[in-house]
Structure 1
Amino acid sequence: MNVKIRALVERDIPFLWDMLYESVFVPEGEKPFPRTILNEPSLSKYVEDWGKQGGDIGLIAENEQQAIGAIWLRLFDETQKGCGDTETPEIGIAILKEFRSKGIGHRH
């Protein structure tokens, strides 16, 4: 499979929301959360207003036809803290289900 990695750009924001949803942990055997879970401030802050905060960085993995995965990081400040501190960026990573377990994350 030919996979290209490129910088995340503004046109990728809808796909980044998809990847945020894919990154939500669902225990094995459990039903996935409804997509409306992305409206929760504790999750939406990882994508909302993407690119308007200093320190928003991301990459998109794509094959010849489509974007298939993303990795992104965001540094939060005191007004909207993440799970860590204000000096350590938080990372999100996800890939579409049909492309998992194909070694894409191991490529250089």
Structure 2
Amino acid sequence: MQVEVRLLKNNEVGLLKEFLYEAIFIPEGVTPPPRDIVEKAELRVYIDDFGTRHGDNCLVAVIENKVVGAVWTRIMNDYGRVDDATLSLAISLYKDYRGQGIGTRLMKEMLSLLKMQGFKKVSLSVQKANYAVHMYEKVGFHIVDENSEEYIMVNEL
């Protein structure tokens, strides 16, 4: 399977709403929330006016001309916020494409891009039960804070 990783095109920004929904961790046996949950203010910060702010970056994974995953960053007041200068990161893949190394490749390429742009660190928030915690650790993230349900992780670029 040939995977192309490239920058998100301007006419694809609408896909971020779909990938934001896919990024919601749903534990085994739990009913997924309705798709319109991404319209809530605390989630809209990830995608509103994307591409217009310093730190807005998005890479996508494409297989056979279909975008199957995305990783994006922006400076925002989200769940993983560390401070005003640190980018927050979100990543998701369609279910059928998870567990195949595509997410790891997206992460590594995004971290390289952020280093080239001169950013010092990037953060994310992840549910403790999410299997992706291990992938984040493998690519250099470490836990800096936690609450009962989530870790806040940072990668010092």
The two structures have a TM-score, normalised by structure 1, of 0.88
Verify the 8 A CA contact 2:91 2:103 in the aligned structure 1: no
3-state SS, counterpart of residue 65 of structure 2:
coil
1:29 is matched with which residue? 29
The percentage of aligned residue pairs carrying the same residue is 37
Instruction: Decide which of 56, 75, 78 is 1:82's aligned counterpart.
Output: 78
How many residue pairs end up in the alignment? 104
CA–CA distance in structure 2, aligned partners of residues 28 and 41 of structure 1? 26
Write the distance in 1 (CA, Å) between the matches of 2:104 and 2:45.
28
- Give, in angstroms, the shift of residue 26 of structure 1: 1.4
Question: Of 102, 113, 117, which residue of structure 2 is paired with 1:104?
Answer: 102
Matches for 1:12-91 after TM superposition, within 5 Å: 12-76=12-76, 81-83=77-79, 84=81, 85-91=83-89
| Runs of 4+ with >2 A deviation | 105-108
Partner Cα separation in structure 1 for residue 10 and residue 88 of structure 2: 20
Deviation of 1:48 after TM superposition, in Å, equals: 0.9
Counterpart of 2:65, as a letter, is Q
- What is the CA distance between 1:49 and its match in structure 2? 0.7
Name the structure 1 match of 2:151.
Answer: none
Where does structure 2 lack aligned partners over 5 or more consecutive residues?
110-157
Amino acid at match of 1:94: S
Using structure 2 for the length normalisation, give the TM-score.
0.62
Which digits, 9 at most, give the CA deviation of each residue in 1:32-55, with x for residues without a partner? Answer: 000110110000110011111221
Q: Which one has the bigger strand percentage? A: 2
Displacement of 1:5: 0.3
